[in-house]
Homo-oligomer: A and B are copies of this chain.
Amino acid sequence: MLANTKATAKQRFMEFLSRKSLRVTAQRQAIIETVFSTDKHFTAEQLLEWSRERDRSVSRATVYRTLPLLTESGLVREMDFGKDCKFYDPNYAEHPNHNHIICQDCEKIVEFESDKIARLEDEISHKLGFAIKTQRLQITATCEELKKLGACKHKSG
């Protein structure tokens, strides 16, 4: 079997830190491990809570100071789902070009990738004189259950 040459998200973030001469503290490690051991979207507050389960010494300030590093690295992306606070998506390390479908009522979120859409985006952007750096497609929809039953069985609350 060939050696796995693909760096993990955690390793890639460590390299990012090192490239910027930033230090690997215990608190940062707890945060990083939390972020890259889930594929769920999370808020700053959730990240604080989960990180504290690994290391009680993680403070809210450190979480808020680390989040911009994570987004700057490109491995995590800030998401606006129209809620009161921002969510963060850790799946950009694995799937740098994925899109989101958000169910209006049950708030289920499905991620998908589409080369066809990506190609059209490139083509159109180029025609308009731009070179794409990142892209974000969010679709708000209703799911089958909702359409058929008038209410979505996954509805929370």
Contact = CB atoms under 8 A, between A and B. Distances in A.
Interface of A: 78, 80, 82, 101, 103-104, 110, 112, 114, 116-117, 120-121, 124-125, 128-144, 147
Contact of A138 (B120, B135, B140): B135
Contacts of A114: 120, 124
A93 B18 CA distance: 48
Contact of A137 (B80, B128, B137): B137
A109 to B, nearest CB: 11
Contacts of A129: 143-144
A120 B132 CA distance: 19
A133 B140 contact: yes
A73 to B, nearest CB: 15
A34 B63 CA distance: 40
Contact of A132 (B80, B116, B132, B139): B139
Nearest to A134: B140
